[in-house]
């Protein structure tokens, strides 16, 4: 009789959520089996990024193909500004179709830090953390693990939600207090897609997405129109002619400035294709902030860029050891300092959160 009871208890144990931890181990094993060696996948989702009291939302679309090909489309829901992070076997690009530009990086992206919208990154972070936790909550599994965001030390953990079939439903990235800083909700995941080779073709993507050039007006007297001369040369010549996008109506000041640092000089400079504002901050943490009107290239331009692609609130910028640059709502921003850490540069950049007006 005792032997029968013991066998019954063992059976109940194995069919429940985990005597001896077997339930948790099976969740991890099943999750890894489903996503570990994918030849290709496509996914879509809604990404939210918290910045103080503001929430920035993106439509995210990802296409992946084995042999290191990624296409990540990030479209800002507030202004429909789309950027694409593209990686083929050899190169990494950030495409900005609205400006007809592509920024070329010498980068290890996406393997040099966590990526909340890539399946490989989510899985790797879980497997790399021996202290991960797995819980069952209302017929869903929740896995919490550490993450690796070297340029944003505030992000420490990810909370991954799976359904009973191990389908990814949601990933949150939180700070040390458990406060949500990023969240992606997956709306579609296809693990057996038919992906066209053009998905990873730089020129093909830009041909499809680049803005339609504005035709040059023809004078009524039959003569050929020519650009007006300018006495102020462009400091850095563009690789092709550019279309003026406007002037800066409101100067945007950072809401965060390091202690012991103040604005000491502000200068507006005319460009042949717009305006530039140069702000000098001196003190314990000196830095330079430049804001200028962005230009739309008439011909598709590939611009070599130093640093790493960095998702900064409402856009993808470039982060180096001493600078951060990005474009937002028709304005190019550039912050440089030879004494600040990357975290400090990012904090200032994140504080330039007021949407500028252009005309």
Per-residue pLDDT at 96: 94
Per-residue pLDDT at 138: 79
Per-residue pLDDT at 351: 92
Strand partners, 275: 270
Per-residue pLDDT at 134: 95
- 9 backbone dihedrals φ, ψ, rounded to 5°: -65, -40
Alpha-carbon distance of 108 to 72, in angstroms, equals 15
Per-residue pLDDT at 209: 85
Per-residue pLDDT at 282: 98
At CA 338, angle to CA 258 and CA 307, rounded to 5? Answer: 105
The torsion of the CA quartet 93, 109, 183, 326, rounded to 10 degrees, works out to -50
Cα–Cα separations (whole angstroms), residue 297 to 97, 245, 350, 355: 10, 10, 27, 23
Per-residue pLDDT at 241: 39
Q: Which domains does the chain have, with CATH numbers?
A: 23-190 (2.50.20.10), 246-293+320-351 (3.30.200)
Q: Which tokens is 164 given?
A: 């009973």
Per-residue pLDDT at 354: 52
Digits of tens for pLDDT over the chain (359 positions)?
555 555 555 444 444 444 334 466 799 999 999 999 999 999 999 999 998 788 999 999 999 999 899 999 999 998 888 999 999 877 999 999 999 999 999 999 999 999 999 999 999 999 999 999 999 987 899 999 999 998 888 899 999 999 999 999 999 999 999 999 999 999 999 999 999 999 999 999 999 987 765 554 555 444 444 333 333 333 333 334 344 456 787 889 999 999 999 999 999 999 888 899 999 999 999 999 999 999 888 889 999 999 999 998 889 999 999 999 999 888 999 999 999 999 999 999 999 865 443 33
Furthest-apart CA pair in the chain: how many Å?
109
Alpha-carbon distance of 316 to 229, in angstroms, equals 34
Per-residue pLDDT at 14: 42
Alpha-carbon distance of 184 to 64, in angstroms, equals 17
Per-residue pLDDT at 113: 93
Alpha-carbon distance of 237 to 303, in angstroms, equals 12
């Amino acid at each position: 009789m005792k032997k029968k009871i013991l066998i019954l208890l063992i059976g109940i144990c194995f069919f429940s959520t985990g005597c001896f931890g077997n339930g948790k181990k099976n969740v991890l094993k099943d999750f890894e089996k489903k996503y570990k060696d994918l030849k290709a996948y496509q996914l879509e989702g809604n990404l939210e990024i918290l910045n103080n009291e503001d929430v920035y939302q993106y439509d995210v679309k990802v296409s992946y193909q084995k042999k290191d090909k990624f296409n990540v489309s990030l479209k800002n829901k507030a202004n429909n500004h789309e950027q694409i992070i593209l990686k083929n076997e050899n190169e990494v690009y950030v495409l900005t179709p609205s400006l007809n530009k592509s920024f070329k990086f010498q980068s290890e992206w996406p393997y040099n830090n966590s990526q909340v919208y890539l399946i490989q990154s989510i899985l790797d972070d879980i497997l790399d953390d021996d202290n991960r936790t797995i819980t069952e909550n209302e017929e869903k599994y929740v896995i919490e693990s550490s993450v690796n965001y070297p340029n944003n030390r505030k992000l420490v953990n990810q909370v991954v939600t799976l359904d009973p079939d191990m389908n990814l439903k949601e990933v949150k990235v939180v700070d040390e207090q458990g406060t949500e800083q990023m969240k992606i909700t997956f709306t579609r995941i296809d693990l057996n897609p038919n992906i066209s080779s053009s998905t990873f073709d730089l020129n093909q993507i830009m041909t499809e997405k680049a803005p339609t050039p504005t035709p040059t007006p023809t004078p009524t007297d039959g003569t050929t129109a020519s650009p007006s001369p300018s006495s102020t040369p462009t400091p850095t010549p563009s690789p092709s002619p550019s279309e003026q996008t406007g002037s800066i109506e409101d100067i945007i000041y950072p809401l965060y400035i390091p202690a012991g640092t103040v604005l000491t000089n502000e200068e507006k400079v005319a460009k042949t294709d717009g305006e530039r504002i140069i702000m000098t901050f001196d003190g314990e943490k000196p830095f330079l902030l430049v804001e200028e009107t962005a230009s739309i290239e008439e011909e598709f331009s590939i611009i070599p860029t130093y640093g790493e692609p960095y998702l900064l609130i409402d856009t993808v910028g470039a982060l180096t050891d001493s600078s951060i640059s990005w474009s937002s709502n028709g304005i190019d921003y550039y912050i440089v300092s030879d004494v600040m850490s990357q975290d400090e540069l990012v904090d200032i950049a994140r504080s330039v959160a007021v949407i500028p007006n252009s005309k």
